[in-house]
Amino acid sequence: MPTIGRFAPSPSGRMHLGNVLCALLAFLSARRQNGQFLLRIEDLDAMRCPRSFADLILDDLRWLGLDWDGEVPYQSERASIYEQYEAILREKGLLYPCFCSRAALHAASAPHLSDGRVLYAGTCCDLTPEQVAEKRKSRAPATRVRVPDEVVQFTDEVWGEYVENLAAECGDFIVRRSDGVFAYQLAVVVDDALTGVNEVVRGADLISSTPRQIWLHRLFGFVPPRFAHLPLLCDHDGRRLSKRDEDLDLGLLRQRFTPEQVIGALACAAGLIDRPAPVAARELVSSFDWAKVPRHDLFLPNIFRE
Ligand code: GLU
Protein backbone atom coordinates (compact mmCIF):
# COMPACT_ATOMS: atom_id res chain seq x y z
CA MET A 1 0.00 0.00 0.00
CA PRO A 2 1.43 3.42 -0.90
CA THR A 3 2.50 5.54 2.05
CA ILE A 4 0.39 8.55 2.94
CA GLY A 5 2.06 10.75 5.53
CA ARG A 6 1.00 14.09 6.86
CA PHE A 7 1.92 17.19 8.82
CA ALA A 8 -0.92 18.51 10.99
CA PRO A 9 0.06 21.75 12.72
CA SER A 10 -2.15 23.75 15.07
CA PRO A 11 -1.85 27.37 13.94
CA SER A 12 -1.87 28.98 17.38
CA GLY A 13 1.32 30.83 16.48
CA ARG A 14 4.15 30.93 14.01
CA MET A 15 5.96 27.61 13.39
CA HIS A 16 9.02 27.08 15.57
CA LEU A 17 11.99 24.83 15.00
CA GLY A 18 10.33 21.81 16.62
CA ASN A 19 7.44 22.07 14.14
CA VAL A 20 9.88 22.40 11.26
CA LEU A 21 11.76 19.29 12.38
CA CYS A 22 8.49 17.39 12.52
CA ALA A 23 7.37 18.61 9.10
CA LEU A 24 10.79 17.77 7.63
CA LEU A 25 10.88 14.19 8.90
CA ALA A 26 7.24 13.52 7.99
CA PHE A 27 7.99 14.85 4.50
CA LEU A 28 11.23 12.88 4.09
CA SER A 29 9.75 9.61 5.29
CA ALA A 30 6.73 9.86 2.97
CA ARG A 31 8.77 11.00 -0.03
CA ARG A 32 11.45 8.33 0.57
CA GLN A 33 8.70 5.74 0.13
CA ASN A 34 7.40 7.52 -3.00
CA GLY A 35 4.32 8.28 -0.95
CA GLN A 36 2.04 11.25 -0.60
CA PHE A 37 2.59 13.97 1.95
CA LEU A 38 -0.57 15.72 3.14
CA LEU A 39 -1.01 18.93 5.08
CA ARG A 40 -3.92 19.48 7.46
CA ILE A 41 -4.56 22.56 9.56
CA GLU A 42 -5.68 21.62 13.08
CA ASP A 43 -7.54 24.81 13.95
CA LEU A 44 -10.31 23.22 16.03
CA ASP A 45 -10.11 26.06 18.48
CA ALA A 46 -10.86 28.82 15.96
CA MET A 47 -10.44 31.55 18.60
CA ARG A 48 -6.83 30.54 19.25
CA CYS A 49 -6.05 29.68 15.63
CA PRO A 50 -6.79 32.59 13.29
CA ARG A 51 -6.61 31.97 9.55
CA SER A 52 -3.71 34.43 9.30
CA PHE A 53 -1.49 32.02 11.28
CA ALA A 54 -2.50 29.11 9.05
CA ASP A 55 -1.61 31.19 5.99
CA LEU A 56 1.83 31.81 7.47
CA ILE A 57 2.35 28.08 8.02
CA LEU A 58 1.58 27.36 4.38
CA ASP A 59 3.95 30.12 3.34
CA ASP A 60 6.70 28.91 5.70
CA LEU A 61 6.42 25.33 4.41
CA ARG A 62 6.73 26.55 0.82
CA TRP A 63 9.76 28.63 1.82
CA LEU A 64 11.31 25.54 3.43
CA GLY A 65 10.75 23.51 0.26
CA LEU A 66 8.37 21.07 1.99
CA ASP A 67 5.73 20.67 -0.69
CA TRP A 68 2.52 18.77 0.02
CA ASP A 69 -0.07 16.97 -2.08
CA GLY A 70 -3.69 17.93 -2.61
CA GLU A 71 -6.09 20.23 -0.84
CA VAL A 72 -5.50 21.39 2.72
CA PRO A 73 -8.37 20.48 5.07
CA TYR A 74 -9.14 22.87 7.94
CA GLN A 75 -10.53 21.14 11.02
CA SER A 76 -12.59 24.23 11.90
CA GLU A 77 -14.74 23.44 8.84
CA ARG A 78 -15.30 19.76 9.63
CA ALA A 79 -17.45 19.75 12.77
CA SER A 80 -20.35 18.04 10.94
CA ILE A 81 -18.05 15.12 10.07
CA TYR A 82 -16.81 14.78 13.66
CA GLU A 83 -20.45 14.82 14.77
CA GLN A 84 -21.10 11.63 12.79
CA TYR A 85 -18.32 9.85 14.68
CA GLU A 86 -19.45 11.29 17.99
CA ALA A 87 -22.85 9.75 17.17
CA ILE A 88 -21.24 6.34 16.67
CA LEU A 89 -19.70 6.56 20.14
CA ARG A 90 -23.04 7.65 21.56
CA GLU A 91 -24.85 4.72 19.92
CA LYS A 92 -22.36 2.38 21.49
CA GLY A 93 -23.25 3.86 24.89
CA LEU A 94 -19.71 5.07 25.48
CA LEU A 95 -20.32 8.79 26.02
CA TYR A 96 -21.34 10.67 29.13
CA PRO A 97 -21.53 14.33 30.09
CA CYS A 98 -18.83 15.58 32.45
CA PHE A 99 -19.46 18.69 34.54
CA CYS A 100 -16.09 18.83 36.29
CA SER A 101 -14.32 22.16 36.10
CA ARG A 102 -10.62 22.31 35.34
CA ALA A 103 -9.96 23.28 38.94
CA ALA A 104 -12.05 20.36 40.24
CA LEU A 105 -10.16 17.93 38.00
CA HIS A 106 -6.83 19.06 39.36
CA ALA A 107 -7.98 19.19 42.94
CA ALA A 108 -9.41 15.63 42.79
CA SER A 109 -7.32 12.99 44.50
CA ALA A 110 -6.82 11.25 41.16
CA PRO A 111 -3.23 10.24 40.47
CA HIS A 112 -1.11 12.47 38.28
CA LEU A 113 0.42 10.59 35.39
CA SER A 114 4.12 10.78 34.56
CA ASP A 115 3.51 13.31 31.78
CA GLY A 116 1.59 15.67 34.07
CA ARG A 117 -1.90 14.63 32.97
CA VAL A 118 -4.43 13.82 35.66
CA LEU A 119 -6.10 10.42 35.51
CA TYR A 120 -9.82 11.21 35.51
CA ALA A 121 -11.31 10.15 38.84
CA GLY A 122 -14.62 9.14 37.24
CA THR A 123 -16.62 11.77 39.14
CA CYS A 124 -19.34 12.07 36.46
CA CYS A 125 -19.28 8.58 34.95
CA ASP A 126 -22.37 7.24 36.74
CA LEU A 127 -24.63 10.27 37.14
CA THR A 128 -28.37 9.57 37.01
CA PRO A 129 -30.48 11.36 34.36
CA GLU A 130 -31.92 13.51 37.19
CA GLN A 131 -28.45 14.54 38.36
CA VAL A 132 -27.46 15.37 34.78
CA ALA A 133 -30.57 17.50 34.29
CA GLU A 134 -29.90 19.33 37.55
CA LYS A 135 -26.24 20.00 36.75
CA ARG A 136 -27.06 21.19 33.25
CA LYS A 137 -28.90 24.14 34.78
CA SER A 138 -25.68 25.69 35.99
CA ARG A 139 -23.03 24.38 33.63
CA ALA A 140 -22.64 23.05 30.07
CA PRO A 141 -20.93 19.66 30.16
CA ALA A 142 -17.96 18.36 28.24
CA THR A 143 -18.38 14.91 26.66
CA ARG A 144 -16.21 12.02 27.81
CA VAL A 145 -15.72 8.62 26.29
CA ARG A 146 -15.59 5.59 28.58
CA VAL A 147 -12.44 3.56 27.97
CA PRO A 148 -12.21 -0.18 28.64
CA ASP A 149 -9.76 -1.94 30.94
CA GLU A 150 -7.74 -2.87 27.89
CA VAL A 151 -4.08 -2.83 26.94
CA VAL A 152 -3.13 -1.07 23.70
CA GLN A 153 0.28 -1.84 22.27
CA PHE A 154 2.09 -0.51 19.23
CA THR A 155 5.60 -0.43 17.82
CA ASP A 156 6.86 3.08 17.32
CA GLU A 157 9.36 3.61 14.52
CA VAL A 158 11.69 5.51 16.88
CA TRP A 159 10.88 4.29 20.42
CA GLY A 160 9.99 0.65 19.79
CA GLU A 161 7.31 -1.08 21.85
CA TYR A 162 4.84 1.16 23.68
CA VAL A 163 2.17 -0.33 25.95
CA GLU A 164 -0.63 1.34 27.86
CA ASN A 165 -3.63 0.15 29.80
CA LEU A 166 -6.34 2.62 28.84
CA ALA A 167 -8.34 2.49 32.08
CA ALA A 168 -5.31 2.59 34.40
CA GLU A 169 -3.01 4.93 32.51
CA CYS A 170 -5.27 7.12 30.39
CA GLY A 171 -8.77 7.14 31.86
CA ASP A 172 -12.01 8.32 30.26
CA PHE A 173 -11.08 11.24 28.03
CA ILE A 174 -12.83 14.25 26.54
CA VAL A 175 -14.01 14.05 22.93
CA ARG A 176 -15.93 17.32 22.93
CA ARG A 177 -15.39 20.36 25.11
CA SER A 178 -18.12 22.11 27.04
CA ASP A 179 -18.13 24.94 24.47
CA GLY A 180 -18.93 22.42 21.70
CA VAL A 181 -15.45 22.35 20.18
CA PHE A 182 -14.35 18.81 19.30
CA ALA A 183 -11.25 17.50 21.01
CA TYR A 184 -8.03 16.85 19.15
CA GLN A 185 -8.17 13.13 20.07
CA LEU A 186 -11.36 12.55 18.11
CA ALA A 187 -10.68 14.89 15.19
CA VAL A 188 -7.17 13.60 14.52
CA VAL A 189 -8.39 9.99 14.29
CA VAL A 190 -11.30 10.81 11.99
CA ASP A 191 -9.19 13.00 9.72
CA ASP A 192 -6.20 10.68 9.48
CA ALA A 193 -8.50 7.76 8.65
CA LEU A 194 -10.72 9.60 6.15
CA THR A 195 -7.72 10.96 4.24
CA GLY A 196 -6.05 7.54 4.09
CA VAL A 197 -3.09 8.52 6.27
CA ASN A 198 -1.13 5.41 7.18
CA GLU A 199 2.00 7.03 8.62
CA VAL A 200 1.96 9.58 11.45
CA VAL A 201 5.18 11.42 12.27
CA ARG A 202 4.98 13.88 15.18
CA GLY A 203 6.72 14.99 18.37
CA ALA A 204 7.34 12.60 21.27
CA ASP A 205 5.19 14.87 23.45
CA LEU A 206 2.19 13.27 21.73
CA ILE A 207 3.16 9.62 22.23
CA SER A 208 0.89 9.25 25.26
CA SER A 209 -2.09 10.23 23.06
CA THR A 210 -1.42 7.38 20.68
CA PRO A 211 -2.96 4.42 22.58
CA ARG A 212 -6.34 6.17 22.87
CA GLN A 213 -6.16 7.19 19.21
CA ILE A 214 -5.40 3.59 18.17
CA TRP A 215 -8.33 2.44 20.28
CA LEU A 216 -10.64 4.97 18.58
CA HIS A 217 -9.39 3.95 15.12
CA ARG A 218 -10.31 0.33 15.84
CA LEU A 219 -13.62 1.24 17.41
CA PHE A 220 -14.60 3.08 14.20
CA GLY A 221 -13.44 0.15 12.08
CA PHE A 222 -10.33 1.86 10.74
CA VAL A 223 -6.85 0.40 10.50
CA PRO A 224 -4.57 2.56 12.70
CA PRO A 225 -1.59 4.18 10.96
CA ARG A 226 2.01 3.39 11.93
CA PHE A 227 3.64 5.95 14.19
CA ALA A 228 7.01 7.64 14.54
CA HIS A 229 7.37 10.01 17.50
CA LEU A 230 10.33 12.33 17.17
CA PRO A 231 12.72 13.21 19.98
CA LEU A 232 12.21 16.81 21.06
CA LEU A 233 14.60 19.67 20.50
CA CYS A 234 16.33 21.02 23.61
CA ASP A 235 18.41 24.07 24.28
CA HIS A 236 21.82 24.13 26.05
CA ASP A 237 20.31 23.56 29.49
CA GLY A 238 18.30 20.55 28.38
CA ARG A 239 15.12 22.64 28.39
CA ARG A 240 12.66 21.64 25.69
CA LEU A 241 11.86 24.32 23.16
CA SER A 242 8.31 25.49 23.05
CA LYS A 243 6.15 27.96 21.23
CA ARG A 244 7.19 30.50 23.84
CA ASP A 245 10.69 30.58 22.38
CA GLU A 246 9.65 33.27 19.99
CA ASP A 247 13.19 34.08 19.03
CA LEU A 248 13.22 30.76 17.22
CA ASP A 249 10.03 31.15 15.26
CA LEU A 250 10.12 31.17 11.50
CA GLY A 251 9.31 34.85 11.24
CA LEU A 252 12.67 35.74 12.71
CA LEU A 253 14.59 32.77 11.34
CA ARG A 254 13.60 33.73 7.81
CA GLN A 255 15.29 37.08 8.31
CA ARG A 256 18.56 35.48 9.46
CA PHE A 257 18.90 32.26 7.47
CA THR A 258 18.24 30.64 4.13
CA PRO A 259 15.85 27.67 3.97
CA GLU A 260 18.81 25.42 3.19
CA GLN A 261 20.61 26.57 6.35
CA VAL A 262 17.57 25.81 8.51
CA ILE A 263 17.01 22.40 6.88
CA GLY A 264 20.73 21.48 7.02
CA ALA A 265 21.07 22.37 10.70
CA LEU A 266 17.92 20.43 11.68
CA ALA A 267 18.86 17.44 9.53
CA CYS A 268 22.23 17.34 11.30
CA ALA A 269 20.58 17.56 14.74
CA ALA A 270 18.33 14.66 13.73
CA GLY A 271 21.30 12.50 12.73
CA LEU A 272 20.53 12.57 9.00
CA ILE A 273 23.75 14.28 7.91
CA ASP A 274 27.17 14.56 9.58
CA ARG A 275 27.69 18.32 9.29
CA PRO A 276 25.15 21.17 9.48
CA ALA A 277 25.87 22.24 5.90
CA PRO A 278 23.08 23.98 3.95
CA VAL A 279 20.97 21.53 1.96
CA ALA A 280 17.56 21.52 0.27
CA ALA A 281 14.95 19.22 1.82
CA ARG A 282 14.42 17.28 -1.42
CA GLU A 283 18.15 16.42 -1.54
CA LEU A 284 17.78 14.50 1.74
CA VAL A 285 15.01 12.22 0.46
CA SER A 286 17.08 9.44 -1.12
CA SER A 287 19.30 8.88 1.94
CA PHE A 288 16.55 9.18 4.55
CA ASP A 289 16.49 6.29 7.03
CA TRP A 290 14.67 6.12 10.38
CA ALA A 291 17.58 4.12 11.81
CA LYS A 292 19.65 7.32 11.80
CA VAL A 293 17.26 9.24 14.06
CA PRO A 294 18.40 9.07 17.72
CA ARG A 295 16.10 8.18 20.60
CA HIS A 296 17.33 10.88 22.97
CA ASP A 297 16.42 14.57 23.02
CA LEU A 298 18.06 16.48 20.17
CA PHE A 299 20.26 19.50 20.77
CA LEU A 300 19.46 22.77 19.16
CA PRO A 301 21.97 23.35 16.36
CA ASN A 302 24.64 25.96 17.16
CA ILE A 303 23.68 28.32 14.36
CA PHE A 304 20.39 29.08 16.15
CA ARG A 305 22.02 29.83 19.49
CA GLU A 306 23.79 33.10 18.74
N1 GLU B 1 -1.89 19.55 15.82
C2 GLU B 1 -0.92 18.94 16.69
C3 GLU B 1 0.18 19.92 17.03
O4 GLU B 1 0.42 20.86 16.32
C5 GLU B 1 -0.26 17.73 16.08
C6 GLU B 1 -1.19 16.63 15.90
C7 GLU B 1 -0.60 15.38 15.33
O8 GLU B 1 0.40 15.43 14.62
O9 GLU B 1 -1.22 14.34 15.56
O10 GLU B 1 0.82 19.79 18.04
Tens digit of each residue's pLDDT (9 = 90 or more) over 99-155: 998 877 777 656 666 666 778 989 999 999 999 999 999 999 999 999 999 999 999
Q: Taking 80 as the threshold, does the pLDDT of residue 246 lie above it? A: no
Percent of the chain with pLDDT over 70: 95
pLDDT digits (tens, 9 = 90+) for 35-70: 999 999 999 999 899 999 999 999 999 999 999 999
How far apart CA 261 and CA 259 sit, in angstroms, is 5
SS3 assignment, position 202: strand
Confidence of residue 97 (pLDDT cuts 50, 70, 90): very high
Q: Taking 80 as the threshold, does the pLDDT of residue 297 lie above it? A: yes
Q: Would the CA dihedral through 112, 118, 123, 126 be positive or negative? A: negative
> Taking Cα atoms as reference points, which of 112, 102, 126, 227 lies closest to residue 171?
112
Q: How far is the CA of 276 from the centre of ligand 1 (A)?
A: 27
Q: Taking 90 as the threshold, does the pLDDT of residue 1 lie above it? A: no
Ligand 1 atom at minimum distance from 209 CA: 9
The pLDDT assigned to 102 comes to 82
> Taking Cα atoms as reference points, which of 253, 228, 254 lies closest to residue 241?
253
Query: At 221, phi and psi to the nearest 5?
Result: 85, 20
CA-nearest residue for atom 7, ligand 1, is: 8
Is 94:218 a contact under the CB 8 Å cutoff? no
Is the CB of 10 inside a 6 Å radius of any atom of ligand 1? Answer: yes
> Taking Cα atoms as reference points, which of 95, 80, 60, 62 lies closest to residue 216?
95
Q: Average per-residue pLDDT in the chain?
A: 94
Mutate to test the pocket of ligand 1, among 4, 10, 17, 233 (most ligand atoms within 8 A of CB): 10
Q: How far is the CA of 200 from the centre of ligand 1 (A)?
A: 10
The pLDDT assigned to 109 comes to 59
Q: Taking 70 as the threshold, does the pLDDT of residue 184 lie above it? A: yes
> Taking Cα atoms as reference points, which of 12, 18, 10 lies closest to residue 241?
18
